[in-house]
């Protein structure tokens, strides 16, 4: 065969294969939400509240099409294994109706409603897998999108502490006790920092930085920098400075933010989603050091992370601040975002400050040469208490 005819044969064969693939497409019926994600999280504040989802057809149906459902609690172990969760079955519920209709000429059904009949306990995920079991339409059920995991949670009510130029908080206890159960806090191979943050405003002048938490130069979460927008979340570890440039933040809104330093990368998360990542060379992180200037020092901080620019404070609120001695997985970050609270005795949880209550104290730290007026206790019991400068910090109520 001559080369030009050989090429023509290949093109014809490819076109034929493409036609075969196109011919294999079959319009189907599926759960609308399951086409995007196989799980949907719903916050239930009181008994009697409802969760909703719909069913779709790939094209408008030619007659009224009935679709019925059932629950499949036997699928919960599969979900838990995939997402690293410990959900329990939602037992006290009812369907408003277990069958819905896609009306003739339409391709989306009326809403399927599930009523939750009891008040849920905060700190627990409840799971209800629902599955299409039958349809009387001419289209088949699309099996991969026939199941939706409904995840129910109770809202968490708490208080958050104001962090600003008058109430920056530091953690001098890291420097005072830099070893924990054989772990050297000055040379950590893995670290995760996470918290909830609410900015009243961002710093809109040089250096455009509002600190969130961490130790500048080692591992610090902050909004802004001279190289990026003042509303952009950035995490800095020396020259490693990944920033969520495509996901700017807003004022007067709560965010769950996290920085994960592993043995190979630095990952940045907003509301449980990975938004930036940079590979590293396996360096260690020091959270127990401190810098000095004019006779006073600054180490790991909450809402303050620099010896420059008045410590580059946050103007806003912090809550649920945590430091882990391991690199949390993406699933764990997403779980913490949804569940809000964690067990203080969780594996690898080094320090945990809820920020919802401070004790009035007068404490002068000899390393930092600073006097503090309030203490935020470390809920893990490891003794890594944080200290603030205000004797009467401000709070706001928060519900997540």
Tens of pLDDT along 199-210? 999 999 999 999
pLDDT at 70: 95
pTM: 0.89
At 24 the pLDDT is 65
- pLDDT of residue 2 exceeding 90, the answer is no
> Beta partners for 184?
179
Exposed (0-12), middle (13-18) or buried (19+): which is 6, by Cβ within 10 Å? exposed
The predicted-structure confidence for 280-333, as pLDDT tens digits, reads as follows 999 999 999 999 887 889 999 999 988 888 899 999 999 999 999 999 999 999
pLDDT of residue 20: 42
CB atoms closer than 10 angstroms to residue 400: 19
Average pLDDT over residues 359-373: 95
Average pLDDT, the chain: 93
Tell me what pLDDT residue 18 has: 46
Is the model's pLDDT at 13 over the cut of 70? Answer: no
Q: Which carries the bigger pLDDT value, residue 23 or residue 263?
A: 263
pLDDT tens readout for residues 146-186: 999 999 999 999 999 999 999 999 999 999 999 999 999 99
∠ CA 227-232-234, rounded to 5°: 75
Q: Under a CB-based contact definition with an 8 Å cutoff, are residues 286 and 215 in contact?
A: yes
pLDDT score for 16: 36
HEC profile of the chain = CCHHHHHHHHHHHHHHHHHHHHHCCCCCEEECHHHCCCEEEEECCCCCCEEEECEEECCCCCCCEEEEEEECHHHHHHHHHHHCCCCEECCCEEECCCEEEECCCCCECCCEEEEECCCCCCCCCEEEEEEEEEECCCCCECHHHCEEEEEEECCCEEEEEEECCCCCEECHHHHHCCEECCEECCCECCEEEEEEEEEEECCCCCCCCEEEEEECCCEEEEEEECCEEEEEEEEEECCECCECCCCCCCCCCEEEEEEEECCCEEEEEECCEEEEEEECCCCCECCCCCEEECCEEECCEECCCCCCHHHCCCEEEEEEEEEECCCCCHHHHHHHHHHCCCCCCCCCEEEEECCCCCEEEEEEECCCCEEEEEEECCCCCCCCCEEECCCCCCEEEEEC
Residue 248 has pLDDT above 60, yes or no: yes
Q: Is the confidence at residue 109, as pLDDT, over 70?
A: yes
Given this model, what pLDDT does residue 306 score?
Answer: 85
- Residue 267 and residue 118: Cα distance in Å, rounded? 38
Quick one: what percent of the chain has pLDDT higher than 70?
94
Q: What is the pLDDT of residue 294?
A: 79
| pLDDT digits 0-9 by tens, 329-360 | 999 999 999 999 999 999 999 999 999 999 99
How many whole angstroms separate alpha carbon 324 and alpha carbon 178?
14
pLDDT of residue 6: 36
Residue 17: pLDDT band by 50, 70, 90 thresholds?
A: very low
Mean pLDDT within 363-387: 96
């Amino acid at each position: 065969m001559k080369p030009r005819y050989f090429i023509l044969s290949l093109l014809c064969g490819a076109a034929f294969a493409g036609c075969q693939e196109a011919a294999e497409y079959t319009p189907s019926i599926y759960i609308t939400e399951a086409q995007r994600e196989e799980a949907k999280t719903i916050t239930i504040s009181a008994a009697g509240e409802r969760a909703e989802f719909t069913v779709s057809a790939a094209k408008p149906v030619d007659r009224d099409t009935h679709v019925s459902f059932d629950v499949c609690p036997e699928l919960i172990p599969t979900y838990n294994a995939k997402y690293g969760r410990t959900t329990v079955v939602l037992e006290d519920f009812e369907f408003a109706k277990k069958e819905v209709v896609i009306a003739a000429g339409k391709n989306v059904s009326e809403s399927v409603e599930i009523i939750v009949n009891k008040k849920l306990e905060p700190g627990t995920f409840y799971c209800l897998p629902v599955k299409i079991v039958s349809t009387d339409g001419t289209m088949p059920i699309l099996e991969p999108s026939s199941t939706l995991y409904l995840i129910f949670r109770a809202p968490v009510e708490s208080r958050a502490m104001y962090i600003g130029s008058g109430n920056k908080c530091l953690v001098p206890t890291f420097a005072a006790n830099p070893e924990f159960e054989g772990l050297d806090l000055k040379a950590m191979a893995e670290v995760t920092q996470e918290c909830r943050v609410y900015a009243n405003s961002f710093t809109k002048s040089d250096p455009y930085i509002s600190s969130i938490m961490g130790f500048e130069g080692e591992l610090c979460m902050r909004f802004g920098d001279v190289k990026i927008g003042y509303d952009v979340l950035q995490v800095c570890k020396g020259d490693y400075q990944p920033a969520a440039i495509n996901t700017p933040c807003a004022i007067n809104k709560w965010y769950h933010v996290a920085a994960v330093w592993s043995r190979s990368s630095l990952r940045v998360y907003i509301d449980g989603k990975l938004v930036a990542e940079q590979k590293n060379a396996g360096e260690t992180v020091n959270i127990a050091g401190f810098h000095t200037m004019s006779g006073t020092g600054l180490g790991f901080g909450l809402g303050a992370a620099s010896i420059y620019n008045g410590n580059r404070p946050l103007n806003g609120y912090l809550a649920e601040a945590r430091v882990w001695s391991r690199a949390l997985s993406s699933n764990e970050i997403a779980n913490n975002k949804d569940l809000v609270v964690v067990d203080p005795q969780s594996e690898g949880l080094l320090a945990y400050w809820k920020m919802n209550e401070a004790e009035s104290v007068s404490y002068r730290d000899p390393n930092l040469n600073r006097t503090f007026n309030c203490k935020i206790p470390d809920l893990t019991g490891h003794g890594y208490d944080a200290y603030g400068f205000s004797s009467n910090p401000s709070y706001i109520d928060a519900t997540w």
